[in-house]
């Protein structure tokens, strides 16, 4: 595919491409996944179905509550990774890379979650209750349960529909040809739409723009441009705009939390600002010398762990509590350890062997899954 470049980019040489895996990004992913798990296990349900989380974790629950921000940071990372890895692709190779990355672990997550919650049902005190039907499971396997108005096997899947909508938007850019000017213009107008559209009635356009989460994807895309071309005033202003809108969005998210105790908003502002700063440091290359290989493994566990943790974790913790009466910190720590182990097994024995098979089936002309990877950056989302 011929990449279209604008005259402004051609006049000012791009920053040298930085190659190699960004290990710090893997570490940030794992922190986010553990944060979300901490929020779910420590604050979003009742261990015995009666008493609030703070009864079991009086000192820790008010801290774990801010783990909900892991989702926002996941979207921030996704914007950065997808924009970084999209250069030099066709729409087909872009779509194949996304499918290969998302579906193998997701299929296992849906089937394993359905099996566990059927064997060890948790029917009260959690966001999702009851056992999924066979029809629900089959529709969930498509990753389109939400737009098809089908109950999710696990509520964490709602974030995948946000990701898919972002992929669709970015695929349009890939099809048009990526350039610095085109991607920056797209990001700018998307942010404008995210600010303006909430003032109007809900519509299909609102669903596509995703005003609640768009600032995070846009900020990630902006930081990807900074990594590829170097920072400048326009990108800096765009990133600052994303950050300001994000603070407003996260304020609303805090107001929606109902854990049974007061949740100040300022720690959420601070944590989100730190996340912006960390990803910006990664984008600008300040962490490129970090080469701890165990972080690559940590990053690989993040996606299957996220898919598996919520409803399976609830079932494990609740069942163990009913039979042992162990304190909540022990049960939560044990559940996280078990789920991380299962996540590694899914990565090692499902994702790694199945990815090249799916890539070959989807694109027979390419015999290796390497064709679905980023041409200049070893990044995953």
User: Could you tell me how many residues make up the chain?
Assistant: 381
The residues near 81 (Cβ < 8 Å, ≥ 6 apart) are 25, 220, 224, 379, 380, 381
User: What is the rounded distance in angstroms from the CA atom of residue 229 to the CA atom of residue 6?
Assistant: 13
pTM higher than 0.85: yes
Q: What is the pLDDT along the chain (381 residues), one digit of tens a residue?
A: 334 444 343 334 444 445 568 999 999 999 999 999 999 999 877 777 778 788 889 999 999 999 999 999 999 999 999 999 999 999 999 999 999 999 999 999 999 999 999 988 865 444 445 688 999 999 999 999 999 999 999 999 999 999 999 999 999 999 999 999 999 999 999 999 999 987 666 677 888 999 999 999 999 999 999 999 999 999 999 999 999 999 999 999 999 998 888 999 999 999 999 999 999 999 999 999 998 999 999 999 999 999 999 999 999 998 898 889 899 999 999 999 999 999 999 999 999 998 888 888 877 765 544 433 433 344 444
Half-sphere exposure of 303 (CA within 13 A, CB side): 25
DSSP H or E run through 319: helix 294-324
3-state secondary structure of 344: helix
Give pLDDT, residue 251.
Answer: 96
pLDDT, one tens digit per residue, over 48-85 is 777 878 888 999 999 999 999 999 999 999 999 999 99
User: What is the rounded distance in angstroms from the CA atom of residue 134 to the CA atom of residue 111?
Assistant: 10
Q: Tokens 């696990």 map to which residue? A: 154
Portion of the chain with pLDDT greater than 90, in percent:
72
Please check whether residue 220 is in contact with residue 75, taking contact to mean a CB–CB distance below 8 angstroms. Answer: yes
Please check whether residue 377 is in contact with residue 19, taking contact to mean a CB–CB distance below 8 angstroms. Answer: yes
Tokens (6 digits) for 27: 């570490």
Give pLDDT, residue 44.
Answer: 77
Please check whether residue 296 is in contact with residue 379, taking contact to mean a CB–CB distance below 8 angstroms. Answer: no
User: What is the rounded distance in angstroms from the CA atom of residue 130 to the CA atom of residue 118?
Assistant: 8
The residues near 286 (Cβ < 8 Å, ≥ 6 apart) are none
Q: How big is the CA angle at 302 (ends 133 and 306), to the nearest 5 degrees?
A: 30
User: What is the rounded distance in angstroms from the CA atom of residue 366 to the CA atom of residue 45?
Assistant: 46
The residues near 74 (Cβ < 8 Å, ≥ 6 apart) are 29, 32, 36, 159, 306
């Amino acid at each position: 595919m011929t990449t279209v470049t604008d005259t402004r980019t051609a006049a000012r040489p791009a920053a040298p491409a930085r190659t190699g895996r960004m290990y710090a990004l893997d570490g940030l992913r794992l922190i986010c996944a553990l944060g979300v798990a901490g929020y779910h296990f420590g604050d979003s349900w009742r261990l015995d179905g009666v008493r609030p989380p703070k009864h079991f974790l009086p000192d820790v629950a008010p801290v774990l509550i801010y783990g909900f921000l892991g989702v926002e940071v996941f979207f921030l990372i996704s914007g950065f990774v997808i924009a970084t890895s999209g250069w030099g692709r066709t729409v087909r190779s872009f779509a194949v890379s996304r499918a290969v990355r998302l579906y193998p672990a997701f299929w296992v997550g849906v089937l394993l979650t359905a099996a566990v919650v059927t064997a060890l049902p948790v029917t009260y005190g959690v966001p999702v209750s009851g056992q999924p039907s066979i029809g629900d499971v089959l529709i969930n396997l498509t990753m389109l349960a939400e737009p098809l108005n089908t109950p999710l096997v696990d509520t964490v899947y709602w974030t995948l529909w946000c990701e898919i909508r972002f992929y669709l938007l970015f695929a349009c850019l890939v099809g048009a040809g990526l350039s610095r000017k085109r991607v920056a213009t797209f990001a700018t107008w998307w942010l404008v739409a995210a600010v303006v559209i909430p003032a109007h009635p809900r519509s299909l356009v609102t669903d596509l723009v995703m005003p609640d989460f768009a600032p995070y994807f846009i900020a990630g895309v902006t930081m990807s441009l900074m990594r590829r071309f170097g920072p400048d005033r326009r990108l800096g202003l765009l990133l600052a705009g994303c950050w300001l809108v994000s603070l407003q969005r996260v304020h609303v998210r805090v107001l929606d939390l109902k854990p049974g105790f007061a949740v100040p908003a300022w720690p959420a502002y601070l944590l989100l600002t730190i996340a912006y700063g960390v990803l910006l440091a990664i984008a600008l290359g300040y962490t490129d010398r970090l080469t701890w290989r165990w972080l690559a493994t940590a990053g690989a566990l993040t996606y299957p762990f996220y898919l598996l943790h919520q409803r399976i974790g609830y079932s494990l913790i609740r069942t163990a509590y009913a039979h042992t009466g162990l304190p909540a910190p022990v049960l939560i720590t044990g559940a996280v350890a078990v789920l991380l182990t299962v996540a590694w097994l899914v990565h090692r024995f499902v994702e790694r062997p199945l990815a090249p098979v799916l890539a070959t089936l989807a694109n027979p002309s390419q015999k290796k899954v390497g064709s679905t990877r980023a041409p200049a950056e070893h990044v995953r989302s």
